[in-house]
Amino acid sequence: MLARGYRLTLFLALAALGALLWLQAPDGRAQAPAVAVLTIKGPIGPAVADYVSRGIEKAVEQGASAIVLKMDTPGGLDTSMREIIKDILAAPVPVIGYVGPRGARAASAGTYILYASHVAAMAPATELGAATPVQVGGGGFPFGRQPEPEEEEPAEKTEDTGTDEAAESETAEAPEEEAAPKAAKPTIEDKVLQDAIAYIRSLAQLRGRNVEWAEKAVSEAATLTSGDALEAGVIDLVATDVEDLLARVDGREVEMDDGKVTLATAEAAVIEIEKDWRTELLEIITNPTVAVILMTIGFYGIVLEFYTGAVVSGVVGAICLLLGLYGLHVLPINYAGLALIILGMILLIAEAFLPSFGILGFGGVIAFVIGSVMLIDTDVPGLGVSPYFMGAVALLAGGGTLLIATKMYRLRREPVRTGSEEMVGSRGKVLDWSGERGEIRVQGEIWQARGQGPLEPGRAVRVTAMEGMTLVVEPQSEGS
């Protein structure tokens, strides 16, 4: 019976091992292809660039054979646009740029991104173009377009015609020569415009799309509808939605860095890579309008701090300035987050030495939390911050600051316990008195005192004032 039990146990163990190996072994069937969809909606800024970069990496990790970049954007920052294009050009899988749904647009920076995509598509009733670079807050005037100078009116002739007639006769005798026009010196706006034209030309040549119209989109702010863009060779196809898009691009050959790739998207599973709460929060900060407002608040807050010494304006100004620099893509997300964390620590330490009644402390907590949010899941080694660690430190610092501020507020409401203010109103007893002066005991100490009229020892008195080290007293009845 014992041997039979051993054999049964061995059989069950071998059966379990075989089942485990069978489950882990490939079944020989090809896995269904998958296509990841990233959505850009609204202005393009650092947060969107970070979302696209992380989204492409996530799509590749999940085994996506292609990525659809669905866009509806009015444009955005040049630096963020170029980061997105670099990620598209370096992507190991084809990126399909798609302007949708109906009524969407890919204006300004969106046009560049569409040109950079391996496949460009648009939904019906969409548009693209108007890619002329403009200044942030510059009133919408495109670079390179300067108002033409007004022609000067000819000067009126004076009655003294001696020199004028001689000049006219010399001009009549001299052969007519056309003056060579002076070449205008290129401005910064001209350089920016020419750089933008060269950039979109390079993308059009890379993807074999309409180069001439690409230049017009930048130099003349030209626009096209989806149907016109298809006829002009700006896009590859028109699709009603993502499902229709995947059906239409199925079997299309795409040129990649390592050779041609044939898209197999007809029956591909769609993976929606949504924006997390962190990206949505940073999108609000990096909106160009919000970024300019933050920069303005930061600048004037710091200026006001130097003029008045108000703690609130300095704290708010420093935080807004760093956020504005990040929103305008002057500071990368990692450095902006690290700077905010360092600022938060400095403010928390300063709270212990400066009487700000919690302003520095709470400002430090806010700066620390925002900076930590920026550094969550960052790609830079050594700069990542765990959300649990961030929450624990923020709660600890916030609780400590609240406790200190509450304690200081209570101390301010308590009566004074030291100094002359505390002595006035105190009661004591006369120890020795002669004439209008003597000694009294107040709060366990002996003081020199003066008062009106003779006071016998043991008489209760009340302090009415303090003159140097002498107390002014008045008689006080025992019952009062």
| Residues 390-422: b if buried by 16+ CB within 10 A, e if exposed | beebbeebbeebeeebeeeeeeeeeeeeeeeee
Of 38-52, 62-76, 301-315, the range with the lowest mean pLDDT is: 301-315
Mean pLDDT of 301-305: 89
Q: What is the pLDDT of residue 56?
A: 95
**pLDDT higher than 50, residue 337:** yes
Please count the CA atoms within 13 angstroms of the CA of 13 that sit on its side-chain side.
6
Q: Which two tokens stand for residue 51?
A: 């979302």
Of 61-75, 305-319, 354-368, 401-415, the range with the lowest mean pLDDT is: 401-415
* Bridge partner residues of 262 (DSSP): 253
Instruction: Walk across the sheet containing 127-129 and list its strands.
Output: 105-107, 127-129, 223-225
Q: Which two tokens stand for residue 44?
A: 């393009």
The C-alpha atoms of residue 215 and residue 464 are separated, in whole angstroms, by 89
Collapse the DSSP code of 355 into the 3-class scheme (helix H, G, I; strand E, B; otherwise coil) and give the result: coil
Amino acid, res. 434: S
pLDDT digits (tens, 9 = 90+) for 358-398: 778 788 888 888 888 887 765 445 545 566 666 676 677 66
**pLDDT higher than 80, residue 315:** yes
Percent residues over pLDDT 70 in the chain = 72
Amino acid, res. 131: A
Q: What is the pLDDT of residue 351?
A: 76
pLDDT digits (tens, 9 = 90+) for 272-290: 999 888 888 888 888 888 8
- Of 179 and 421, which is predicted with more confidence? 421
The pLDDT-based confidence of 165 (bands split at 50, 70, 90) is: very low
**pLDDT higher than 60, residue 251:** yes
pLDDT digits (tens, 9 = 90+) for 64-112: 999 999 999 999 999 999 999 999 999 999 999 999 999 999 999 999 9
**pLDDT higher than 90, residue 127:** yes
Percent residues over pLDDT 90 in the chain = 38
| 398 contact partners, CB below 8 Å, separation of at least 6 | 362, 365
The C-alpha atoms of residue 206 and residue 424 are separated, in whole angstroms, by 88
Q: What is the pLDDT of residue 333?
A: 74
**pLDDT higher than 80, residue 309:** no
What does the H/E/C string look like for 62-78?
CCCCEEEEEEEECCECH
| 447 contact partners, CB below 8 Å, separation of at least 6 | 428, 439, 440, 441, 469, 470, 471
Longest dimension (CA), the chain: 142
How far is CA 442 from its chain centroid?
A: 63
**pLDDT higher than 60, residue 480:** no
